[in-house]
Structure 1
Amino acid sequence: MGKTKTAFVGGVTEEKISGKDKYEKKQAKKREDEAKKKQQIAGLGLKGGERIKVVGGELPPEEKPAITPKSASATGQAESTEITPESTEGKIKKAKIRSKKYQHARAKVDRNKLYVLPEAIKLVKETSFSKFDGTLEMHLVVRKTGISENVALPHFEGKTKRVEVADDKTIEKLKKASGQEGSGPAGKIDFDVLLATPDMMPKLVPFAKLLGPKGLMPNPKNGTLIKNKSEASAIESAKSVVLRTEKDAPVIHTVVGKVSQKDEELAENINTILDAINRKMILKAYLKSTMSPSVKLSI
């Protein structure tokens, strides 16, 4: 094994290679081919399988082709958007600048202090800078959503509400307002509070989509579902406010009176509202007028 034998045939010398020599020669060629591949890099901008062989020197840095929206969609690559100061310019909301009157009024209020009710009412009146008789408002943060109460205020100074007790004429009005066929020309809802007896509720159900969003659908929670037409709540509802949380937040906004009202009357209205909701359900309470800073109220 491993020896070379020479045979003489017809005057010609023929060299025979052993199996081991063939294997070593094959491996040497393989190593040579691999060494050549390491010296080759992908040709930039060349056609097909053309290559550039580097002889000496350094390899040029590999450049990545720019990805355009079309090429990105074709190759499935996600487009990346670089955020620059120029792209964000103009999108930043400017801070609201308060008037000098508001800033002067705000300086009189201690933001961290909880004011007792008599003191809070006086401070709101003092810091109100409107030229007209402003409305006194109360904003409450409660523990849960879904609260709806109709509260009669002892000293109501707001707009008198139009109250209607549901009957057959009311049903005809609602048919016109909803645009039902055969009900005549379209009409409008001309009442602010709708009261109903239990026997009228089945007739009002078809108009729930019309009355519900406006808060006019009678229900026992806000006192608009009455036993009979002569019930006293019909009169009280005309001088009441509806306390209702927002749809997606446990927050209640309500009117408690006018700035021109006596402090005692406003205090009585506020206490009536707080008791109706249940003070234990209230997390925070703020008092303000139409044009004044808010004051934190001690419950």
Structure 2
Amino acid sequence: MKRSRRYREIKEKVANKYYNLPEAIEFLRANNPEKLKNIKIIKKERKIAIIKEGLPEDILAECQKNNEVKLLTATEVRQQVEKQKKSRWDFEKILAHSSGEEAVKPLQKLLGPKGLYPTKKNGSLTESILQEIAKFQQGETELKTDKGGNIQAVIGSSNFSSEQLAENYKVVYSKITELKPTG
């Protein structure tokens, strides 16, 4: 595979060298292909979709007050996911109440491959909908691994200071090691 000149130059700098955290952050900042002036910061409005079927009235009333929550029927979720690209969906995550599990089952083939299907295992099919909404609003995100077990996560952007990046890295690293299964 043919690589660019810039890729080859950076690879030569990295070759078989161990970097401690401050050195690694400085290296990444110095070799960032996107300089700060070229990065456009757009505040993305994060919304969460809640499937209405089976939702108790008290939770429904609370959800209607929250402008980050989009209440949809299972049919409306199907229509949005089938007809639009992911970038045009009005939500990032889907939650369903455990009493509405039957209404969600027909969506399994559609949402399962996209990682959006509400299940008890991932916490999106639950009775504590309001707690999950609160976690989402506080910025909780899921980290996923690829087939090799590598975790890809963003710890900041190029306008963060080295101290902020180091702190974010330490938080992510400590959480991963805390959740790491034994063996």
TM-score (ref. length: structure 2): 0.65
Provide closer, same or farther for how the CA distance between residues 274 and 225 of structure 1 changes in structure 2, counting only shifts above 3 A: farther
| 1:166 counterpart = 2:51 | yes
**TM-fit CA distance, 1:279:** 6.8
* Distance in structure 1 (CA, Å) of the matches to 2:172 and 2:125: 20
> Of the candidates 100, 108, 123, which is equivalent to residue 208 of structure 1?
108
Provide Cα deviations, 1:123-157, integer angstroms capped at 9, x if missing partner.
100111324239xxxxxxxxxxxxxxxxxxxxxx9
Provide closer, same or farther for how the CA distance between residues 110 and 102 of structure 1 changes in structure 2, counting only shifts above 3 A: closer
Provide closer, same or farther for how the CA distance between residues 278 and 127 of structure 1 changes in structure 2, counting only shifts above 3 A: same
- Equivalence for 2:59: none
Structure 2: state its 5+ residue gaps.
Answer: 54-71
Matches within 5 A, 1:71-150: 95-99=1-5, 101-107=6-12, 109-131=13-35, 132-133=38-39
**TM-fit CA distance, 1:199:** 1.6
Larger helix proportion of the pair: 2
- Equivalence for 1:138: none
AA aligned to 2:48 is V
AA aligned to 1:133 is I
Provide closer, same or farther for how the CA distance between residues 261 and 178 of structure 1 changes in structure 2, counting only shifts above 3 A: closer
| 1:237 counterpart = 2:122 | no
AA aligned to 1:215 is G
Structure 1: state its 5+ residue gaps.
Answer: 1-94, 135-156, 180-185, 283-299
* RMSD (Å) for aligned C-alpha atoms: 3.3
* Distance in structure 2 (CA, Å) of the matches to 1:105 and 1:245: 25
**TM-fit CA distance, 1:207:** 0.6
**TM-fit CA distance, 1:163:** 1.1
AA aligned to 2:175 is A
| 1:272 counterpart = 2:171 | yes
Provide Cα deviations, 1:210-262, integer angstroms capped at 9, x if missing partner.
1111111123444434433321x31432523322223x432332222211112
Identity of aligned residues (%): 28
CA contact (8 A) 1:105 1:128 kept: no
> Comparing both chains, which one has the higher relative contact order based on Cα–Cα distances under 8 Å and sequence gaps of 6 or more?
1
Q: Secondary structure at the match of 1:195?
A: strand
Q: Secondary structure at the match of 2:79?
A: helix
Provide Cα deviations, 1:99-138, integer angstroms capped at 9, x if missing partner.
2x4444444x34323322222111100111324239xxxx
* Distance in structure 2 (CA, Å) of the matches to 1:227 and 1:280: 24
Structure with larger Rg: 1
**TM-fit CA distance, 1:187:** 7.2
Provide closer, same or farther for how the CA distance between residues 276 and 195 of structure 1 changes in structure 2, counting only shifts above 3 A: farther
* Distance in structure 2 (CA, Å) of the matches to 1:117 and 1:225: 38
Q: Secondary structure at the match of 1:194?
A: strand
